[in-house]
Amino acid sequence: MVKKIKIYKNFNINLKDKNSIILIGNFDGLHSGHQKLFKQAQKFKKKMNLRLGVITFDPIPKMFFNKKIKNYRISNFEQKISYFENFGVDFLINKSFNKKFSKITSHNFIENILCKRLKLKYIFVSNNFRFGYKREGNVKLLKNYQEKYKFKLINPKPLKKKNKIISSTLIRKLLQRGNLNIANKILKRHWSIEGIVEKGRMMGKKIGFPTCNIDIKNYIIAKIGVYAVKVKINNRGKAYKGIANLGYRPTFNQKKILLEVNLFNFSGNLYNKKLSVEFLKFIRGEKKFNGVDDLRNQIKRDLVIAKNLKWAKNI
């Protein structure tokens, strides 16, 4: 059974969580590059018999500084918690990133927060880690403070794939371009969206293909189109095969991005239920049809493709 993580909203942590191993970053998507960092931290945890903690920020600083960025996240907060728990993280400090916090200098962050308040023993960060007012702090600065405050910095070399550094930015670009298969391999799992089923216009039901409508909130918008998916209800029990359309429904002159999911071999009411939708394969791009009959015929062809897929259990 996976141990539940202790969540803090500030740096006032319990005594038992001080003198720990700390990882700092957004860890959006917790991709294979992040996983390399976490696996190394796990080894230190076991060897040194220390607790393992993570510091993340909400919103992601880039979204705070650029309010125009709306659809950006690879994973939501609940998913991130689940990933952390699977890597044996004992506690999380999910710090609100606001104007006041953004003005804290890098020196202040190291001395007063990391060292005096958290009393950390080891700090794990990526090579491109930046922090403090105007992003003035970096790995080099952390190294300079090691001896003074008796902590050890660990920053492994970045993981690369075909000479490209594995990053959340790379995964966002892959998803936007429709390179789902590569993105899934880098994530080491199927990319997924979680959301609550909302009542819609019931257009799918009217044309013979009832769908669950999910507002994707601030998830990254992957390539618009039709996907083969696997769906869990409330993250429990059976996973249902299905087909999903991520798009704007141009045939019905809609303009809001929406995820519509049709589950195979399922009957029942899913309104207000939480669905976890795993994206397995990109089938085709979204397009505007001349009418409902053309759309219905295309959906039938999409269903044949999706149902004939080899449904992989793992990446």
Considering the domain architecture, whether residues 21 and 132 belong to the same structural domain is answered as yes
Q: Are residues 47 and 106 in the same domain?
A: yes
For residue 297, the surrounding DSSP H or E stretch is helix 292-307
Both structure tokens of 204: 């799918």
Q: What is the pLDDT of residue 250?
A: 65
**312 lies in a domain?**
no
Do 17 and 139 lie in one domain? The reply is yes
Please give the pLDDT value at position 202.
65
- 176 belongs to a structural domain: no
CA gap 72, 78 in Å, rounded: 16
Q: Decide if 177 is inside a domain.
A: no
Same domain, 148 and 101: yes
Residues ≥6 apart with Cβ < 8 Å to 305: 228, 283
Place of tokens 């990319």: 191
121 and 251 assigned to the same domain: no
- pLDDT tens, residue order, the chain (315 aa): 677 899 999 999 999 999 999 999 999 999 999 999 999 999 999 999 999 999 999 999 999 999 999 999 999 999 999 999 999 999 999 999 999 999 999 999 999 999 999 999 999 999 889 999 999 999 999 999 999 999 999 998 888 888 889 999 999 999 999 999 999 999 999 999 999 999 876 666 666 678 889 999 999 999 999 999 999 999 887 899 999 999 987 666 667 899 999 999 888 889 999 999 999 999 999 888 887 788 888 888 998 899 888 764 545
Looking at 139, 161, 183, the residue that finishes a domain is 161
- In this prediction, residue 95 carries a pLDDT of 97
Contact call for residues 260 and 299 (beta carbons, < 8 A): no
pLDDT of residue 160: 87
pLDDT score for 204: 61
Q: Produce one character per residue of 225-244: b if its CB has 16 or more CB atoms within 10 Å, e if not.
A: bbbbbbbbbeeeeeebbbbb
CA dist 124 and 108 (Å) reads 18
- Is position 173 within any domain? no
Residue 137 and residue 279 share a domain: no
Q: Are residues 136 and 57 in the same domain?
A: yes
Burial class (CB in 10 A: 0-12, 13-18, 19+), 125: buried
Q: Is the domain of 156 the same as that of 10?
A: yes
- pLDDT confidence of residue 238: 87
Q: Containing domain of residue 93, as a range?
A: 6-161
On whether the CB atoms of residues 71 and 102 are closer than 8 A, the answer is no
Domain final residue, candidates 140, 161, 182: 161
Domain count, the chain: 2
Burial class (CB in 10 A: 0-12, 13-18, 19+), 67: exposed
Whole-angstrom distance, CA of residue 159 vs CA of residue 125: 13
Neighbours of 303 (CB within 10 A): 18
197, 269 Cβ separation under 8 angstroms: no
pTM value is: 0.92
- 40 and 95 fall within a common domain: yes
- Whether 167 maps to a domain, the answer reads no
**Which is nearest to 127 in space by CA: 115, 117, 140?**
140
Rounded (to 5) percent helix, strand, coil in the chain: 35, 25, 40
Residues 201 and 251 in one domain: yes
- Give me the CATH number covering residue 93: 3.40.50.620
The answer as to whether 314 is a domain residue is no
Name which of 239, 236, 227, 230 is nearest 303 in CA terms: 227
Together in a domain, 90 and 36 = yes
Query: Which CATH number do you get for residue 246?
Result: 2.40.30.30
Report helix, strand or coil for 208: coil
Per the domain annotation, does 69 fall within a domain?
A: yes
29 within some domain: yes
- Give the strand pairing for 258-263 and 212-214: antiparallel
Q: Are both 241 and 103 inside the same structural domain?
A: no
